[in-house]
Structure 1
Amino acid sequence: MLMIPAKLRPGDTIAVFSPSSPATATAAARYRRGKEYLEAKGFRFLEGSLTGRRDFYRSGTIRERAEEFNALVRDPNVRCIMAAIGGNNSNSLLPYLEYEGLCKDPKIIVGYSDVTALLLGIYAQTGLTTYYGPAVVASFGEFPPFVDETYTYFTDIVTERLTLPHTLPTPPQWTDEFIDWNSQDKAKKGRVNALLTLHPGAATGTLIGGNLNTMQGIWGTKYFPEITDGTILMIEDSLKDAATVERSFSLLKCAGVFERISGLILGKHENFDDMGTGRQPYEILQEVMGDVDFPVLAEFDCCHTHPMLTVPIGAKVRLDADAQTVTLLEE
């Protein structure tokens, strides 16, 4: 049975956790900017136990990272647990999370990229709606105007002002400009936004998705939600090359995913390396998929680019590739 956490209210506590990369230590200035941004919006802010810590490529040992998260689950004052950033090893935590605690006190769990493993794993194990959306360092450490748009899209979904049905907006501009976080002191340059219809049609179903590269770390396990005829699959990736993207899309083909889903949403790809092909990820996807009979919408904005939409995993949505819209019908 689907569980929906209580909506976020002014004065509620947002807690940060570091499930993989030690970004609160390696990008301390950006972390402080994100923390101060959320505090300025009227939220209390609680730092997880690994804030400012690092263990080489990660924030702490597997057990330390799991306990940081579990401690926030047990804290009744925490209403939203937000990742600092992603990384590569969030899937290591899944056997050690306190799922029963989340069932007793459902909270908003939000993050993206490598945090996909936790969002999907928690949803699969508990039925709790989780949120593919912003992270403290990566998203709220950004500069205006993109940080403000990301914040609006986040609060549109997780606060009491959400009314259904709700059509997710298409941001007027987007960016994947690279500026080193430790030297960035200004806004990134925006580009005019446009979505792409790869296959026409419309479908209604349960949204399952996140970072495709991360999904491969839990594929075929009990932490990966079942993909059925009623699934609207959302996938995105970042900093990959054409060969890697083809391999990832081909996993979906070989696993029969394209034979089961009702619709597909492909997010923008941050700083894609086309390896001299001149081809974009959506063109590689078209080649791998072949002829399909479901709607496919590409260049969606719930991904590694700015600004970022927030999407509830497990929600009932309507994908209309002709109108280029994704509408939340039920959480």
Structure 2
Amino acid sequence: MSDVRLPEGLSDGDLIAVVSPASWPSGEGVEGCLSVLESWGFRPRLGTHARDQLGYLAGRDEDRLADLNDAIRDPEVRAIVTTRGGCGSSRLLHGVDVDGLAADPKPLIGYSDITALHRVWHLAGVPSLHAAATGRHADVVNRVLRGGTPPPVTRDPRQYGSGLTTGGRASGPLFGGNLEMLARSVGVLDFDLNGHVLLLEINKAAGLGNVDRALTQLLMSGALDGVVGVALGWLTGFEEFEDRGWTILEVLGERLGRLGVPVLAGLPFGHDPDPEVAPLGVPCTLDADAGVLTVSPALRMAP
């Protein structure tokens, strides 16, 4: 990871690019996103190919990449919002204009499949937001984009899996996202998380075997060497799921236990339309004893 380059916080009237680097969004999703950004006082601009459809992708790889790089290279664009995840972000990884991003830092907002692109931002030293621009926590996205401090994220002891919480505290830059996308980035992008707190959200569609494979790949590749803590999101959908006597709790307990670091589970991050906002690439403190994850601002307060 490069030295962190905090972008300047946005102000009313700033331009936000809205792009679809993965799967294509619904019409209602696009309109809702544009409406929310306008209501915040920003000027949203929809990418040329954001509504394209090619199978499950939002158009051809070269067109999705062009929209993303156009947003990176345009000095008027101050943030980039993705319309949805799905599948397809990984196809773009080696084509992203990293030099342009480093020269003109601007945050990326998205989650799920967008985790692959968050890794590119992280390697460039530019913070990004594991978040949705619409939904219950949209006001927090607005606050963070303007340079505000995100509210602390608190463990919900009622959530399935929250009992995986251990004790202890850890501090370091926060990075992570969707488990499968993190594992599939190994060997494609540099993956050194030494000194980091790892954020994990896990999709029920993966099944226990794939969760095991993904965690094992990250562990055996050395990608998690030096991780100082784990912030674990919801395990929605796994509550009644069992595979030959094992649940997700056994898999995570055994795999993550090998790290020997504090784990804070039951956090409201997940494969859900309304995840809490998690700035990535900036300092955080994970307090497993208190059940709280505190993350620093991802942008500088606008003058």
121 and 289 in structure 1: CA distance in 2 versus 1, 3 angstrom threshold: same
Q: What is the match of residue 170 of structure 1?
A: 154
Shift, 1:171, TM fit: 8.7
State whether structure 2 residue 138 is matched by structure 1 residue 151. Answer: yes
- Residue identity in the other structure for 2:143: D
- 1:75-224 alignment to 2 at 5 Å? 75-124=74-123, 126-135=124-133, 140=134, 147=135, 149-162=136-149, 167-170=151-154, 195-196=162-163, 198-221=165-188, 223-224=189-190
Shift, 1:234, TM fit: 1.0
Shift, 1:245, TM fit: 1.6
- Residue identity in the other structure for 1:19: P
**Aligned with 2:264 (options 279, 293, 297):** 297
| Structure ranking higher on relative contact order (CA contacts 8 Å, 6+ apart) | 2
Shift, 1:224, TM fit: 3.5
- Residue identity in the other structure for 2:18: V
Structure 2: distance between partners of 1:300 and 1:171: 5
Structure 2: distance between partners of 1:119 and 1:268: 20
- Deviations 1:260-294 (CA, angstroms, capped at 9, x unpaired): 21111111134347246686534420023346531
Paired residues of 1:202 and 1:321 also in contact (CA < 8 A)? yes
Q: What is the match of residue 181 of structure 1?
A: none
**Aligned with 2:211 (options 245, 259, 277):** 245
Q: What is the match of residue 177 of structure 1?
A: none
- Deviations 1:138-196 (CA, angstroms, capped at 9, x unpaired): xx2xxxxxx2x31122233222333xxx65233989xxxxxxxxxxxxxxxxx989954
Q: Identity rate of aligned residues, in percent? A: 29
Paired residues of 2:153 and 2:294 also in contact (CA < 8 A)? no
CA RMSD in angstroms, aligned pairs only? 2.7
Paired residues of 1:266 and 1:282 also in contact (CA < 8 A)? no
Moved over 6 A (4+): 191-194
State whether structure 2 residue 73 is matched by structure 1 residue 74. Answer: yes
Paired residues of 1:282 and 1:298 also in contact (CA < 8 A)? no
Q: What is the match of residue 176 of structure 1?
A: none
The TM-score normalised by the length of structure 1 is 0.80
Q: What is the match of residue 301 of structure 2?
A: none
The TM-score normalised by the length of structure 2 is 0.86
- 1:276-315 alignment to 2 at 5 Å? 281-290=248-257, 293-315=260-282
State whether structure 2 residue 38 is matched by structure 1 residue 39. Answer: yes
252 and 133 in structure 1: CA distance in 2 versus 1, 3 angstrom threshold: same
User: Is 196-205 or 254-263 further displaced after alignment?
Assistant: 254-263
Paired residues of 2:19 and 2:68 also in contact (CA < 8 A)? yes
Aligned residue pairs: how many?
A: 294
Structure 1: distance between partners of 2:155 and 2:115: 23
State whether structure 2 residue 196 is matched by structure 1 residue 231. Answer: yes
Paired residues of 1:319 and 1:325 also in contact (CA < 8 A)? yes
Q: Structure 2, unaligned stretches of length 5 or more? A: 299-303
Structure 1: distance between partners of 2:201 and 2:106: 25
307 and 277 in structure 1: CA distance in 2 versus 1, 3 angstrom threshold: farther
Q: Structure 1, unaligned stretches of length 5 or more? A: 141-146, 174-190
Structure 2: distance between partners of 1:170 and 1:200: 15
36 and 67 in structure 1: CA distance in 2 versus 1, 3 angstrom threshold: same
